[in-house]
Amino acid sequence: MKIYTGGGDRGKTGLFSGERVAKCNLQVETYGDVDELNSTLGSLSAALPEGWTDIDGQLRLVQADLFHIGAWLAITPAARTNATLEEFTAERVLFLEKTIDAMEEQLPALSAFILPGGHASAAAAHVSRAVCRRAERRVVALMEQSDAKKLPASWQQLLRYLNRLSDYLFVLARFCNHRTGVEEPLWKP
């Protein structure tokens, strides 16, 4: 199977639910940001020190969740395809919250603003956090553009998930610096 089809050569792409839309459509921009976030998590995983299988495993679970979120975002809210997707539930948000809490137990209290940086893995986590926040903003814009009554319940959960994921990535950046013994760069106004 060839990777290129030529179907997008005129600036259109197909949604998962079958509709053809402009590649600059807000919906395409939104799931594109989620795809970019997923790619940054791949870079973050590659930047982890050898043997960090616990964190790598967490990141792989998050990447799978982002594929699931991308599928939800690539269908129109009223499409029959909604019925074929597994619901995105609050359980995934709880996974992030428990993981954040476990990492925070090992970290010193935050007493100042920190700058993105430190160990390469921490810097990569900060990049992912910023991309995550952009994806979250796009989801909000897409939801505001849509008829709220027609939005599947999974959309509210995936918005909560992206909000919590940015928190997870911030704490992960701190955790990476702490675990590698690299001092967090503090902001000194």
- List pLDDT tens digits, range 34-52: 999 999 999 999 999 999 9
Report, as an integer, the average pLDDT of 165-170.
98
Q: From CA 69, how far away is CA 154, in angstroms rounded?
A: 9
Q: For domain 12-180, give its CATH number from 3.30.70.20, 1.20.1200.10, 3.30.2350.10, 3.30.460.80.
A: 1.20.1200.10
Q: How many CB atoms lie within 10 A of CB 105?
A: 7
Q: From CA 134, how far away is CA 168, in angstroms rounded?
A: 15
pLDDT reported for residue 154: 87
Q: What is the pLDDT of residues 90-101, one digit of tens each?
A: 999 999 999 999
Report, as an integer, the average pLDDT of 133-159.
89
pLDDT reported for residue 81: 67
Q: From CA 180, how far away is CA 115, in angstroms rounded?
A: 17
The model's confidence at residue 148, banded by pLDDT at 50, 70 and 90, is: low
The model's confidence at residue 7, banded by pLDDT at 50, 70 and 90, is: confident
Q: Is the predicted pLDDT of residue 137 greater than 70, yes or no?
A: yes
What does pLDDT average to over the chain?
A: 92
Phi, psi of 14 (to 5 degrees): -100, 135
How far is CA 112 from each of CA 14, 109, 128, 187, 189, rounded to the nearest angstrom? 46, 9, 21, 7, 11
Instruction: Using a pLDDT cut of 70, give the percent of the chain over it.
Output: 97
How many residues are given for the chain? 189
pLDDT reported for residue 151: 80
Q: Which of 29-33, 45-49, 141-145 has the lowest mean pLDDT?
A: 141-145
Tokens 């690299």, residue? 182
Report, as an integer, the average pLDDT of 6-30.
85
pLDDT reported for residue 82: 65
Domain map (residue ranges) of the chain: 12-180
pTM equals 0.92
Q: From CA 124, how far away is CA 132, in angstroms rounded?
A: 12
Q: Which of 8-22, 63-77, 98-112, 168-182 has the lowest mean pLDDT?
A: 8-22
Query: CA 136, 139, 145, 150 torsion: positive or negative?
Result: negative
pLDDT reported for residue 20: 87
CB 26 within 8 Å of CB 138: yes
| Residue among 85, 73, 61 nearest 156 (CA) | 73
| Burial of residue 42 (number of CB atoms within 10 Å: 0-12, 13-18, 19+) | middle
Q: From CA 29, how far away is CA 46, in angstroms rounded?
A: 26
